[in-house]
Amino acid sequence: MSTDLRDLYQEIILDHSRKPHNSGHLDEATCEAQGNNPLCGDRISVYVKLDGDRIQDAMFEARGCAISVASASMMTDMIKGMTVDDAKAAHARFLELITDDDPPQLADDDQLAALIGVRDFPTRIKCATLPWQTFSAALDGGADEVTTE
C-alpha cells in the first residue's frame, strides 16, 4: 500500500469503522441532528445528552464510509465529558487540522491525530467533517438537516 493510503486507512481508523464506539440511538438525548451527504447518500444522526453545559453522553447512527464512521466513533469518544465550549473548540481545531494550509501542531497523544491523513484526500474531507458538523448542529438546536453541499 502506498504511504498516504496507509496514512488514511490506519489500523485505528479501520478498527473504529469495523466496531464503532457509541453507535446507536441515545434514548435520553437532549438534542440531536441529522447530517446528509447528498453526493454519496451517506446519512448520520448524532445524539447528545447535556447536563447543564457538560456533555454527559453522545451517540450516533450512521450509514457511511469507513472515514465518516471512524470519525463519528472517535468524535463521540472525545466529546463525552467535555463542556459545550470545549467540544466546539475541538470541532474548530479538527477543521483546522484537516483543511488549513498551515495546520496547528499535534501532540503525539492527540485523539484527532488519526484522521489527519484525510488532508491528502480532498474528495474525502467531507466524510470526516460531517459527524462534527452534525454534532455542532445538534448543539445549535438541530432544526435543519446538515448537508455537505
Partner 1 sequence: MNVINGGYPIDEIRKDFPILSEQVHGKPLVYLDNGASAHKPSTVIEQIKRTYETGYANVHRGVHHLSQIATDAMENARRKTQDLLNAADEKEIIFVRGATEGINLVASSWGRANLKEGDEIILSVLEHHSNIVPWQIVAEQTGAIVKVVPIGDDGTFLMEDYKKLLSDRTKMVAVTHVSNALGTVVPVTDVIRLAHEQGAVVLLDGCQAVPHISVDVQALDVDFYVFSGHKLYGPSGIGILYGKEALLELMPPYQGGGEMIDRVTFEKTTYAELPFKFEAGTPHIAGIIALGSAIDYVTGIGFDAITAHEHDLLEYATERLQSMNTIDILGTAPEKAAILSFNIEDVHPHDVGTILDHSGIAVRTGHHCAQPVMDRFDVAATVRASFGLYNTHDEVDALIEGVRKVQEIFA
Beta strands, E only, the chain: 31-37, 42-51, 54-63, 146-147
> Roughly how many angstroms between the first and final C-alpha of the chain, as a whole number?
31
* By CB under 8 A, residue 124 contacts partner 1: yes
Selected range binding partner 1 among 1-9, 91-99, 106-114, 141-149, rule: CB under 8 A: 1-9
Query: Maximum Cα–Cα distance for the chain, whole Å?
Result: 47
- Rounded Cα gap, residues 149 and 147, in angstroms: 5
The 10 Å Cβ neighbour count of residue 137 is 20
12 sits near partner 1 (criterion: CB under 8 A): no
Query: How far is it, in rounded angstroms, from Cα 107 to Cα 37?
Result: 31
Region 14-33 residues binding partner 1, contact defined as CB under 8 A: 14, 18
Contact code string over 45-64 relative to partner 1, x by CB under 8 A:
------------------xx
**Residue of 12, 24, 40, 100 interacting with partner 1 (CB under 8 A):** 40
Of the residues 127, 130, 138, 146, which one makes contact with partner 1 according to CB under 8 A: 127
Contact residues toward partner 1 (CB under 8 A) are 1-2, 4-5, 8-9, 14, 18, 39-43, 63-67, 121, 123-124, 127
